């Protein structure tokens, strides 16, 4: 029997919060951001179950290209095999359990840095020095545990959940909505990892609303964004989104003349997609940038930050230079968001803090809270 009340149980508090109609909705309860129990529920019910973005496919284009990440407490490696197939597997040695690969790079095999057990790119053990005298040791029985890995619209998606719905099906409504952007062809020009001192959801929520743009980003993009040009439709089960229409002054945010896929207002539409749980994409007809978020404890977030150009602009001699300017601008925008989201985390840790009501421009935040409530409350059922 569950006798917890919303006051002492962050999951119950979130479920009560998410049950309010949008017209009277409030920001999420503080404990959702600070409670170690809630964090564990997120790791178990969300990050160990859902699809997580490890980066872009073109970052792992050739056989032997790899990246590493921690997913819900598990070190994972994603590696392009000799057969061209991308695989994700446990990045932990099957001998005495050292981690194997570090960071990103290209390799011809996976050599453990402890005693040099050596694995093929598909995870099978290829060699192990001085093991012939152990009668039970059978090299062929060793293979690094594999996890789900799928490429979709240029994204590398991984999941610890063997029963996860295939990515293309899970996010089918995303592809339907933005298919004409042909995001699979967008070329990544930078990718970085950062750690900020805020809860991952504070940053996710910051991305989901453009209500803060005129103020938090007054020194950068604030002037380009008018509250009346923002549209925040209700979200869908696996994602939420909102749009901003850009005016003619921002060349890279408009469709290239060679782009005949996008029609009408789509040619100047920036769409901000929040693919649950934590892939946040700003997609414009000319360029894109994204954040993939993972908690580092309750008070820190690990951020994969990348972006690049749409293929139409890759041959445009001006575009590289313009994108360089955009990257500088995006970095300044990230610094502003870092300031705002770290202030929110510091603020919500106060016992005097109280979550207030949401604007109609925070509809995606409301949908996100409902998604979280369903996932964390549903997992024990
Ligand atoms: S722990 Fe990897 S070879 Fe010993
Ligand atoms: Fe922002």
Buried b (16+ CB within 10 A) or exposed e, 54-64: bbbbbbbeebb
**Maximal C-alpha separation, the chain:** 74
Answer CATH for 52-165 from 2.60.130.10, 3.40.50.300, 2.40.50.90, 2.102.10.10: 2.102.10.10
Taking the CA of residue 98 as reference, the ligand 1 atom at the shortest distance is: 1
Residue nearest to atom 3 of ligand 1 (CA): 115
pLDDT at 318: 86
222 Cα–ligand 2 center, Å: 9
3-state secondary structure of 330: helix
Query: Residue 116 CA: which ligand 1 atom is closest?
Result: 3
Instruction: Specify the length of the chain in residues.
Output: 381
Among candidates 156, 184, 191, 151, which has minimal Cα distance to 310?
184
- 100 Cα nearest atom in ligand 1: 2
How does the average pLDDT of the chain come out, rounded?
94
Q: Is the pLDDT of residue 6 over 70?
A: no
Residue nearest to atom 4 of ligand 1 (CA): 115
- Give the closest residue (by CA) to ligand 1 atom 1: 96
Per-residue pLDDT, 120 = 98
Q: How far is the CA of 203 from the centre of ligand 2 (A)?
A: 9
Give the pair of three-digit tokens for residue 121: 């790119």
What mean pLDDT is predicted for residues 220-244?
85
Residue 218 binned pLDDT confidence (cut-offs 50, 70, 90): very high
Give me the pLDDT at residue 379, please: 58
User: From ligand 2's centre to the CA of 305, what distance in Å?
Assistant: 14
Pocket perturbation via mutation, ligand 1, pick of 91, 115, 123, 137 by most ligand atoms within 8 A of CB: 115
> Strand ranges (DSSP E) for 82-228?
86-90, 104-106, 110-111, 118-119, 125-127, 146-152, 155-159, 187-196
Order of strands, sheet of 230-231, starting from the edge strand that comes earlier in the sequence: 187-196, 301-309, 287-295, 279-283, 269-275, 239-245, 230-231
| Averaged pLDDT for residues 270-285 | 97
The CATH code belonging to domain 10-34+186-378 is: 3.90.380.10
Q: Could you say which ligand is closest to the alpha carbon of residue 337?
A: 2
Domain boundaries, the chain: 10-34+186-378, 52-165
Q: Which ligand is nearest to the CA of 110?
A: 1
For ligand 1, residues with CB inside 6 Å are 93, 95-96, 98, 112, 114-117
Mean pLDDT score, 156-166: 98
Q: What tens digit of pLDDT does each residue of 64-96 get?
A: 999 999 999 999 999 999 999 999 999 999 999
What is the number of the ligand 1 atom nearest to the C-alpha of 117? 3
């Amino acid at each position: 029997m569950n006798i917890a009340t919303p006051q002492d149980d962050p999951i119950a508090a979130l479920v009560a919060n998410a049950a309010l109609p949008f017209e009277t909705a409030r920001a999420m309860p503080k404990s959702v951001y600070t409670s170690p129990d809630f964090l564990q529920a997120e790791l178990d019910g969300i990050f160990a179950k859902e699809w997580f973005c490890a980066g872009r496919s073109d970052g792992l284009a050739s056989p032997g290209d790899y990246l590493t990440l921690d997913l819900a407490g598990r070190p994972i490696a994603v590696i392009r095999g000799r057969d061209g197939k991308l695989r994700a597997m446990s990045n932990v040695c099957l001998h005495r359990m050292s981690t194997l690969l570090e960071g990103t790079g290209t390799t011809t095999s996976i050599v453990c840095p402890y005693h040099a057990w050596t694995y093929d790119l598909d995870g099978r053990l290829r060699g192990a020095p001085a093991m012939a005298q152990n009668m039970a040791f059978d090299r062929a029985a060793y293979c690094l545990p594999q996890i789900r890995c799928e490429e979709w619209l240029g994204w590398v998606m991984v999941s610890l959940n063997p029963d996860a719905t295939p990515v293309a099906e899970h996010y089918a409504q995303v592809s339907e909505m933005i298919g004409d952007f042909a995001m699979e062809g967008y070329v990544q020009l930078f990718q970085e990892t950062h750690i900020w001192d805020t809860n991952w959801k504070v940053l996710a929520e910051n991305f989901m609303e453009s209500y803060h743009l005129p103020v938090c980003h007054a020194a950068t993009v604030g002037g380009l964004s008018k509250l009346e040009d923002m549209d925040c439709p209700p979200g869908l089960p696996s994602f939420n989104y909102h749009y901003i229409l850009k005016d003619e002054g921002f060349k890279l945010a408009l469709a290239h003349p060679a782009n005949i896929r996008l029609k009408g207002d789509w040619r100047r539409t920036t769409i901000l997609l929040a693919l649950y749980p934590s892939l946040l994409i700003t997609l414009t007809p000319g360029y894109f940038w994204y954040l993939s978020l993972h908690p580092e404890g309750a008070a820190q977030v690990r951020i994969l930050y990348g972006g690049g150009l749409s293929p139409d602009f890759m041959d445009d001699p001006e575009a590289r230079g313009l994108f360089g300017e955009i990257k500088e601008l995006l970095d300044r925008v990230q610094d502003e968001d870092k300031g705002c989201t770290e202030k929110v985390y510091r603020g919500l840790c106060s016992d005097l803090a109280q979550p207030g009501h949401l604007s109609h421009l925070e509809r995606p935040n409301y949908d996100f809270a409902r998604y979280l409530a369903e996932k964390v409350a549903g997992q024990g059922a």
